[in-house]
Amino acid sequence: MSTPDDRFVGRAVGKNYEAVFQIRTMGSLLAGVAAGVLGLTNFWGLFFFVVSAAVTSFAIVAFGCGGNAHKCFPKGTSELFSVQQLLSGAMTYILVWTVAYDAIYIF
């Protein structure tokens, strides 16, 4: 009897995860710049990050997976919308957010 994970090739799934990581990093970078330029501070900046991470996940499912995450990832959308995945670009976001905010509003 085959398991649901038998239909996935390890190398292909690894490349999918690598692509998701790169997309999340770029999305966090762009969201950080936008938050810094908009002058968001405190909880508004945190809220903006959570919303941008969710939008990035929806974009990955809609465009990258063709609307069906189960054909690209063994656990489907539960992998893309986990807390770990949503917070994967947090440090990039915070770094770029503070640099952009400082460059525009402080210097």
Residue-wise pLDDT tens digits, 50-107: 999 999 999 999 998 898 888 888 888 888 888 888 888 999 999 999 999 999 998 7
CB 94 within 8 A of CB 32: yes
Cα(28)–Cα(32) distance, integer angstroms = 6
Taking each continuous run of H as one helix and of E as one strand, the counts in the chain are 5, 0
pLDDT of 1 strictly over 60: no
